[in-house]
Each structure stands twice: as C-alpha cells, then as structure tokens.
Amino acid sequence: MKKNLIYFLVFFELYSYGQELKNLELQFKNPPQSAKPYVWWHWMGSNFSKSGITKDLEAMKASGIGGATIFNLSSAVQESQAPTLNNPWPEQTYRSSAYWDALKFAASEAKRLGLELGLHNTVGYSTTGGSWVSEEQSMQHLVWRDTIITGNGKIQQIQLTKPSLKADKGWGRYDSKLTFYKDVVVMAIPADKRQPELADVKILTLKFDSIKGILLPIPKGQRWKIYRFGHASTGISPHPVPDDVIGKTLEVDKMSSKQSEYHWSKVLNPIIENLGEFIPGSLKHILIDSYEAGNQNWTPGFREEFIQRKGYDPLPWLLTFVQTVTNDKKNSNRRLLDSEEKTVRFEWDYRDVINQLYMENGFSIGKKMINQAGLRFDWEPYSGPFNTTQGSALADLPMGEFWSNSNGGINSSIPAAAGAENKPLVGAEAFTGRPEVSNFTETPAMLKKSTDGAFLSGVNRLILHHWVHQPFDDKYQPGMCMGWWGTHFGRFQTWFEPGKEFFKYIARCQFLLQQGQGVVDYLCVDKLVGNADLLSVNDFMKENISIRNGQVLLPSGRSYPFIVYSDTLILPEVAEKLVNLTMQGATVVCPRPVHSPGLQNYPDCDQNLQKLAHSVWKNQPINPCGKGFVISDLKVAIQKEGITRDYQVLKDSANEIKVTHRRANGMDLYFVVNTAKQIKYNGISFRITGKQPELWQAEDASIQPASVWSDDGKRTTVNVKLNPQQSVFVVFRKPPLLVDHLTEAKADTITDDWSIHCDSAGNSYFSSNENVKINFIRASGLKSSMSVKTTQYKMPNQSWNVTFIPKNGSSFERKLPDLIDFSTSEDKDIKYFSGTAVYKKIIRIGNMLENQRFFLDLGKVYDLAQVKVNDAEKVTLWYPPFKADITKGMRVGENIITIEITNTWANRLIGDEQEPADFEWGNDRGETKGRALLAYPTWFLKNESRPSQGRKAFSTWYYFRSNSQLKPAGLVGPVRFYDKSQRKINFEIE
C-alpha cells in the first residue's frame, strides 16, 4: 500500500511537471494578455468620438495589443504648443460631461474586448498638476534680490525691493502674471569680502515688513550686501495640455504632503465618481510619465524639514545659490561659503533633503492614494531631482523609455531596483521618435534593434509610443498625429496587418522574459556595478535585511551572497549598518571609507567614520568582521564565492552577441541576440549543467532541441547560428535526451542558408543553398563529415501581374515587365503608391520527395512581405533576410504563390505634395521636421469633396515637401525558389 502511494505521488508529480511544461509551450505560442505590448493612446484636444474609440480598441485587440494608457493632450503637439484651429467638437472640453461620457464608453468597450485601460494622472504627458493648482499650491523656488548699503554710523531704515517673478514660457506656459510671493529670510554679508565665512552671515529677520522695511545700525564706511530671499511659483505648467486649459495649469508642489494630497484627490475623486464601476475591471492604472517639470528647491516648512533631517540651519547656506563675482570660471555660478569642501557638502545635503521630500511628501502619497483607489501606480522615475532607484522601487510598474533610433536600452537602475523589490514587470515607453527619424518611414525591421535592446536591458513590457486616437471618418488617413512625435502605430498605418507578426514577436519574447526573476550575482547599494540588483541608500537604511547562512535576505524574498557599496564617500550611518550586517554573517564589499558626503555633524561625522574604518578595514584582501567579512575588492569577493561568468560568447563575437538570463521554477532561459550585420555561428558557454538546451524562436513560435551542444559537468556550451539582428531563447528545463547528439559542427563556408536542424528525438540534419562540406563530432566521440547541395532556381525575369491596394483609395492592376522599385516608375500611381502590392506566380512540381523542404528567397523587399502557397496560412516576413519556408501547402502539380508587399506612407505623402494644398499651413519647423495643419478646412468640417483632387492623404502633421526624396518600395528581388535536397526534383516556374 505504501509503495503504491509512493508510485502514485511520483506519477502525479511527473504528470504535473509535464502539464506545466506543456502549458508553458502553449502560452509561448499564444501569449496571454499580460505578455502583449501596450500602447499610449493619445486623445488630441477635444477630438474624440465614440465611433473612433470602438474602432481603435477593436484594432488593438485584433493586432495583439494588451491595453492602453489614455493621454489628454493639445489638439496639436508642437514646440510652441499651438493648437489646431476649427476643431470639429469644441464643446468636448477636458473633464466636460462629454469627456467623462467618452471615457465611460472607452472603459466599457475595453471591458467587452478584454483590454486594460489606464489614465495619465494629469493633462499633457508631464508631470503632476492641473488647472486646480493655484500659484501658492504649485512648485516653489527661491527668488532673491540684493541691495548694497553703506553705513553712515546711524540707524538706517532700509526698503528692500521684492524679487522679480517670472513664469516659465515653455511648452505649457502659464498665461497669468505671477503674483504669489512669500518672504523666507533677509540676510547680510560684507559686500567687499570675496569669499565670506559662515560667521560673516547675519540673519537680519525672518519676517519682513515691506512697508516699513528694516532698521539697521551700520558703522560708518562699512558696506553690506543685503539679500531678501523669498519663494514663489516656478510657473511651470503640465504640458502639452488640451486647448481649453492652455495657460491655466500649474505643476503641484511636490515636496508638500498637503498639496500632494490635494492634487491626488483632484485627480482620483472624479475618476472614482465617473468610472468607479470599471475599477478594478477594465480601468487598471494611473501613470506618471517622465519628469519634465523642472527644479523645485523650496516649499513651506522646508527649513524645519532640513533641520530635522540634517541637524543644522540651511538659511545661511542659501547664499551659495547666489552668483558670486569671481574670475574663477569653475565656480562662477555659485558663491562659496567657508570653503569649497563645506559648500559641496551642503549642496549634497540640500539635494538629499529635496529627494526625500519628493519621495515622502510627493510620489509616496500619490502611490498610496492610487492604490487605495484600487489602481496600479505606473511611473517613469527619472530626470527629476529625486533618486531613480528609489522611485523604481516605489512604483508598482517601474518604467524607462527608449527612442526609435536607439539601441533600446533603458536606465539600468530601473530593472536593477525592480529586481531587488522582486517586481515581476519592468515597462518601457517604447519607440518615442523624433520627426527626422519617425516620419511615416518607420517599419518593424527598423524597430527590431531597439526592441531587442530593450529586452536585453531588463524590460519585459513595451508600451508603444504611440497609438493616436483617430476620431474621424476612415477616409481621412493617415489622420491624426501627435504633432511630429512618435512612431506611428495604429489602425491607419500601412503595415497594420502584416505588422501583427511584429507584435506577436514582442508578446512571445515578453512572455518568456516575464517568467521568474532576472539572474544576478549580488546586491549593490547606491550605485550599480556589474550584474546585480540595486537598492537606494534610503531604502537600504529602511529595509529589514536579515542574514541566513551567509546569504543576504531582503523582505522581498530576494537573496544574495554579498552586498556591494562601491564608493569611498559614505554616510556614517550607512557604514554602521553595513558593518552590523557583517557582524550577523554577511559579506560586504566596500572600499575603505574616506569621508561623509554631507555637512551633517561635520567634522565629527568624518572622525567617527575613520574610527569605524580603522577597526574594520585592515588593508587585507578579506577582513573578518563578526560572523562575516569585509572585502575591499569586488574581484576578490567574486572569487571567494566561486562565481563564474553567467555566460561567455566564444570566438570573436563577444561584443556582438548579447545575452540576458532569467530563472523560473528550475528553468533557465537566456535571450540571445546577434546585434551584428553579419551571420554569426558561435558557441556560447552557459553556467548550466545537466539539462538539455532547447531553442525557442519567438518569430515563429518554434521549439526544438539544440543541434550542437556539449556538457562538461561544469558548464554547457551551445552552438547557435543567428542571422543579422536575429534573436533566440536558449532554454534549459529538461534532463538531456538520451541520444548521441552533436558536440561540434563546422562548415568550410558559412552561407546564408547553411543550417543545422533537430528532429524531436534530437537527431541532427543539415541543409544549405550551396555546396557545403560539414565536419562534426558526436558526444560518443564519433567524427564524420558530409556534403550538402541544394538545387536552386531563380525566377525568370518575365512580366508580373500586380494588384495595387492603396491604404486609402481604390485598387488597380498593372503588368510589370520586371520587378522594380516603385519609386523609379514613370507611372505616378505606382511611383507614389503606399499600401500593399500583390504579386502572383505559379510553380509546377513534377514530383515530391519524403521530408522535402521548399524555400522562397525574395531578395530585396520594401518593406514587409507576406507569402502564401495555395490555401496554406500566410508567412509574414518583417525584417531581412526575406526568406520563407513554404513547404506547408506545396503539392505535386500546380502551386499558386502569392506575395504581398507592403510599403510605408512616405511616397504617397510625397506624391500629395506635388498637388496644391487645399488647407492652410500652420507652424513650419523646416524640411527635417515638417509643418502643421493650421486649421481643419471647411470642406473637411462639412464632409465635402476635396478641392485638390490629386491629394489622397489627410493628416495633421506633414513631414515631407514636393522635393523630398522618395523611398524604395515594392518587391525588387531577385526572387529565388529552391529545395533543400540532394536528389532530383522536377520544377517548372510560370
């Protein structure tokens, strides 16, 4: 009975494990909603409609988008923030009844479709504020004015002029004249002393009567410079805001808990009131975009907060903000007080207090209130006067950003901080684009480099920038733009249909990259060094860190072999905590401390730090301390812990083959990318043993055992062949297959199509499109070689019947004598074509062999291709090389090959510029950036025929001119059809 129970439990465990593996494979092929890319859904001013909402959301669902964040922006987002005139729905103002009705409808439609929605917390895309914020409630900064007084030996009554107040005139612009001002302090220093000392500063008054002034006894002949310091609104506005609130909004004071609570109540209460039925249903999150609100350096109560946190009065040190008169260019923008060292220390303390107040009185309050409302807090915590690491730890979904023409990496502190907090998702505002780059010429092929770069940097949820809401009739394409910004996704993009495969690629990658945790070697504090997770100093001091068997355990559940603090500047309390952890058994890697970065408790802070350093740091490679160790050199710590390289690219491609690693439930997966422009066939050594390597390809959802690999009991080396810009997941999850697998394979030539394949049993077979001799060695030691030859056929240069389907307009057919670049055609309909062109060929096969494989090489393609054989499913090719396995669907006899090629909007838009404009031009930013639609024309508002019949497209931003260079378009080829076989096949191509 007992034995039967054991058998049952073992069987059940194996069955459960098998089901888990099966579910993993099924979800990889068809990723869940959480793995799909999201979008930023920009609503432009009052231009939103229910019909457009439905069409947008249905298109998102159809294309594999998981959700959207709604932004309420100006009707035209440009540098001057000049709105478009004659908007069709002027009554649909921000937070009007029509606005809330549209949001309710959007949330309802999202619920129907199973999509997630969120809202940016304020108007515009930065940062936290609104029309409800007054000057007194807004971000504050210090302002001052100085007066030089010469003493006459008597008590003098001095009137001090109020400092001037200037509002920011940037993107948001606050139209009203600033009036709020409150005094902070009046101070004086000797006027003729080039570098004053702290003892020279005289605080005259904290309260100032602007009518009576102040009474000062100044000895005859002495000259004093008197400063009147106060605080006022920075005048910074959220931007770019809907038309009806332009010039009426201010950024809220981010260091005041009172004002933060006020702001977030103004944000959340109306949302709960109007959309509460969709929380936590389809309405899931509130976002704060990247920080663009400028600097804030004061708030009511700042002096008291500073004294409480740092132990000394900051008021005399405010004089360091004032520009000094000096020939020293290095210090020309500030005044030194006492010394350079003390001034620098004060500045460190000042920045630290600002950071703490931003986090405690600003963003932490926002997160708390957002969570209490049942919503998730998404945040891009960078570019402001606060700590990115601390902000990333605070956010429910920490986010970075990358641009369309970049390598795709985000700030490394963000995923490292998320790792320490054991947060499963790291987001990224993806493909933000400048007009010189993202101007309706962008394609998935162009975006792949930055996509993979983002994944390598730790991102596992892309939020695409952007999907602009299209409220108008579908005949107006490409339609609404977000000014000149962003990569143009959305239902009006020419490659909307074939581009779905790009979204599938993203989703499959994200599904695997959302599994488990990123694999790191240790924990860093304050600064990230090497392959590690990261804690900010403030969070390190707050965390209840425990030590178990020498492992450092965080409350999040993450554990590490040691902690790294890499700077010689360290707060005494931080050093004390590190030493206390070593007393409990931790290993701490830290150079011998030199001094504290701040002025707090100076000079005792440095003396205390040196006493601690003298007792612990013994100038030895490894210093025992209590139950643990202090090590000054990171390399020594890595060697002590026996940490080897997580992966190593063999041969000469270490700088071109990039890898990232995650681990989940005993499964290790490595995302491997070839960033080079050449094919790479490399061995990669992984810190894994005892498991079968598998290759998971996110492009087509294929899974197969690795063909060539070896396991020496310490590491596993896998040979991986990747095309330019190609990626693959190397997954270790099962015991090795009991087969005599290949451990080495070399070819006399690496060609585009030389490849090694595995069947389900792990047996390898080879193929190539040229004569290739392959030498290989098996695990058993057997050495052998074989030659592979493939029959190849170039499609004859004969006429092609092509059906042209423009993105907007009627289809037409042309017979082309040969494959051409459309932009070189004399036929204007072809020359300026944007859309999908359909080519057809017939291939007759006299016989087919067992396991025969057929391929189609399209050569040069501009820009995406879909290939279909007979009634088989289309194969989408969205980046080069444009080669398709067309075996499925091929049969003896006649085979109809259909090739659909989709290009970008660019040529049609350039073609329109050959025609007269039937609207007025607005702001012109030059040939590299484009120009705006000034106003919606009368014929558009009345739904009349266009006066300029030759214009086919309609947009709110125009990137091109009549002399802009056309872009290559269409199927250029040469097209080749070939089989991978060493035996004779009869072909006929028509």
1-10, 13-22, 807-816: least confidently modelled range? 1-10
> For 448-457, 647-656, 725-734, 829-838, which range has the lowest pLDDT when averaged over its residues?
647-656
Question: What is the mean pLDDT of the segment spanning 905-930?
Answer: 96
pLDDT digits (tens, 9 = 90+) for 507-517: 999 999 999 99
Question: Does 967 have pLDDT greater than 50?
Answer: yes
| 3-class SS string, 153-170 | CCEEEECCCCCCCCCCCC
| CA pair distance 339, 400, nearest whole angstrom | 39
The larger pLDDT score, comparing residue 754 to residue 455, is at 455
pLDDT of residue 784: 82
The confidence score (pLDDT) of residue 325 equals: 47
Four-point Cα dihedral 757, 758, 763, 764, nearest 10: 10
**What pLDDT is recorded for position 326?**
46
Entry field: residues in the chain: 990
The secondary structure of 223-276 as a DSSP string is EEEEEEEEEEE-----BSPPGGGTTS-EEBPTT-HHHHHHHHHHHHHHHHHHHG
Print burial letters for 928-962: b (CB count within 10 Å at least 16), e (below 16).
Answer: ebbbbbbbbbeebeeeeebeeeebbbbbbbbbbee
Question: Could you tell me the pLDDT band of residue 18, with boundaries at 50, 70 and 90?
Answer: low
**Is residue 141's pLDDT more than 80?**
yes
Helix/strand/coil for 740? coil
- Whole-angstrom distance, CA of residue 601 vs CA of residue 311: 7
Question: Cα(931)–Cα(489) distance, rounded to whole angstroms?
Answer: 20
Q: Are the CB atoms for 283 and 106 separated by under 8 Å?
A: no
Contacts of 90 (CB under 8 A, 6+ apart): 46
Spatial separation of the C-alpha atoms in residues 561 and 533, rounded to whole Å: 12
Please tell me the predicted confidence (pLDDT) of residue 753.
59
Rounded to an integer, the average pLDDT of 936-950 is: 97
pLDDT tier at 984, thresholds 50, 70, 90: low
Instruction: Give 662's DSSP letter.
Output: E
Instruction: Supply angle C-alpha 909, 914, 916, rounded to 5.
Output: 105
Q: Determine contact, residues 858/971, Cβ cutoff 8 Å.
A: yes
DSSP for residue 359: I
pLDDT at 5 over 70: no
Closest CA to 698 of 879, 868, 490, 860: 879
Res 19 pLDDT > 80: no
Mean predicted confidence (pLDDT) in 832-844: 95
More confident residue, 449 or 82: 449
Kindly tell me if the per-residue pLDDT of 328 is higher than 80: no
Determine the 3-state secondary structure of 421 from DSSP.
coil
Minimal CA–CA distance to 502: which of 486, 518, 487, 517? 487
Residue 943 host element (H or E): none
pLDDT in the model for residue 14: 45
What is the C-alpha to C-alpha distance for residues 425 and 822, in angstroms, rounded to an integer? 43
For residue 155, the Cα-to-chain-centroid distance in whole angstroms is 63
pLDDT digit string (tens) for 469-508? 999 999 999 999 999 999 999 999 999 999 999 999 999 9
pTM above 0.85, yes or no: yes
Residue 552 near residue 586 (C-beta atoms within 8 A): yes
Res 985: pLDDT: 54
- Would you state the pLDDT for residue 207? 76
Residue of higher predicted confidence among 772 and 927: 927
Tokens at 499, concatenated: 């581009």
Read off the pLDDT of each residue in 573-592 and give the average, rounded to a whole number.
Answer: 97
pLDDT of residue 186: 93
Q: Which residue has the higher pLDDT, 654 or 732?
A: 732
pLDDT at 851: 77
Under the banding of pLDDT at 50, 70 and 90, the label for residue 327 is very low
Residue 614 CB neighbour total at 10 angstroms: 10
Q: Is the pLDDT of residue 329 over 60?
A: no
How distant, in Å, are the alpha carbons of 161, 193, 481, 496, 957 from that of 478?
56, 65, 8, 12, 10
Residue 252, token pair as written in the block: 């809220």
Whether the pLDDT of residue 750 is over 60: the answer is no
CA 310/CA 844 separation, integer angstroms: 84
pLDDT at 768 over 70: no
Confidence of residue 334 (pLDDT cuts 50, 70, 90): confident
On the question of pLDDT at 554 being above 50, the answer is: yes
- Interval 699-721: pLDDT, tens: 999 999 999 999 999 999 999 99
Out of 10-24, 444-458, 633-647, 953-967, pick the least confident: 10-24
- Burial class of residue 524 (count of CB atoms within 10 Å of its CB; 0-12, 13-18, 19+): buried
First to last CA, the chain: 72
pLDDT tens-digit profile of 806-820?
998 899 999 999 999
pLDDT classification of 744: cutoffs 50, 70, 90: confident
Please list the residues that pair with 67 across neighbouring strands.
Answer: 38, 116
**Structure tokens of 703?**
């899974």
Task: Report the greatest alpha carbon distance in the chain.
Answer: 116
Judge whether residue 987 has pLDDT over 60.
no
- Determine the pLDDT at residue 221: 87
pLDDT tens-place string over residues 871-882: 999 999 999 999
Q: Give the type of residue at 958.
A: Y
The rounded percent of the chain whose pLDDT value lies above 90 is: 79
Over residues 975-989, mean pLDDT: 67
pLDDT tens for 170-198 read 666 777 889 999 999 999 999 988 889 99
The whole-number pLDDT of residue 989 equals 64
Other Cβ atoms within 10 Å of 914 Cβ, number: 13
Average pLDDT on 17-29 reads 81
Angle in degrees, CA 592, 593, 596, rounded to 5: 175
Kindly report, residue by residue over 247-276, the tens digit of the pLDDT: 999 999 999 999 999 999 999 999 999 999
